[in-house]
Amino acid sequence: MSHPLIQIKNLYKSFGDTEVLKDVSIDINRGEVVSIIGPSGSGKTTLLRCINVLTKYDKGSIKIDNVEIGYASDDEKNRKERSEYQLSEFRSELGMVFQLFYLFPHLTALENVMLGLRKVRKLSKVKAADQAKYWLQRVGLTEKINSLPSEMSGGQQQRVGIARAVAMDPKVLLLDEITSALDPELVGEVLEVVQKLVEDGMTMIIVTHEMSFASDVSNRIVFMDEGKIEIDGTPSEIFDSKNERLNTFLARIKK
């Protein structure tokens, strides 16, 4: 019997006295694209960071391919924390692209994409270069492979970030507000790249304020508010919803 690629159950996370995630549960299947929307502070980014084990969750369970990632057991009373080595192994199976590009400023586009392929995947220099060139071509940056980040626009740097993530052949691609730091005229070129990856059948979780884009690419859209999943539905169910809190949020986004 097949199982969801991602299984999140009863997830809680607090920072000090502030409860950021409250009993979050969601399943995501292979090849599914799920967009997460909601106001600032609703827990969207924290949820992504928990999935990528960059942030430790307090209670609950996250399974990727039916394996508990944050702890060595899903028994709440007896579980032990994963070692840093184990966490790094899990992270290597997940691609994440952040709001800011986080490219190494002293490395070219090609070298930035090659780095993980060499260090983590242990590919030869030739194979890593071939794979990096392929993905830079896929994101439309063949002419920029030897350029430093300072020689590229924000949109181009973000496309390098996407190429770097997908070159690692992740099970899931996590996108955290990847257009929020871009000038408006550069947003389209980045979203076009994501659209192509959707067409390839890649499993994605996308945190975004681009409502039209979310509607176009998503199988499901999740609305989060105050650390909880309030609504989980198809794009039509979300945008035709009678939920007052959701509609207030959507009205503010459109302004």
Dihedral of CA atoms 234, 239, 245, 249 in degrees, nearest 10, equals: 110
190 touches 182 (CB < 8 A): yes
Structure tokens given for 240: 């035709």
Q: Note the pLDDT tens digit of each residue in 179-204.
A: 888 888 888 999 999 999 999 999 99
Q: How far apart are CA 117 and CA 6, in angstroms?
A: 24
Distances (CA, A) of 62 to 7, 26, 52, 72, 181: 6, 10, 10, 11, 29
Structure tokens given for 10: 């009863």
Sign of CA dihedral 155, 186, 188, 179: positive
Q: pLDDT tier at 90 (50, 70, 90 boundaries)? A: confident
Q: CB-hemisphere CA count at 13 Å for 147?
A: 14
68 touches 62 (CB < 8 A): yes
User: Mean pLDDT over all residues of the chain?
Assistant: 92
Q: Specify the pTM.
A: 0.92
pLDDT at 98 over 90: no
Q: pLDDT tier at 94 (50, 70, 90 boundaries)? A: very high
Residues of the chain above pLDDT 70, percent: 97
Q: What is the pLDDT of residue 242?
A: 93
Residues of the chain above pLDDT 90, percent: 80
Write the DSSP symbol of residue 192: H
Q: What is the pLDDT of residue 1?
A: 57
Distance of alpha carbon 41 from its chain centroid, rounded? Answer: 17
Q: pLDDT tier at 89 (50, 70, 90 boundaries)? A: confident
Q: How far apart are CA 87 and CA 24, in angstroms?
A: 21
216 touches 188 (CB < 8 A): no
Q: Note the pLDDT tens digit of each residue in 49-78.
A: 999 999 999 999 999 999 999 887 656 667
pLDDT at 255 over 70: no
Write the DSSP symbol of residue 104: -
Q: What is the pLDDT of residue 75?
A: 64
Write the DSSP symbol of residue 174: E
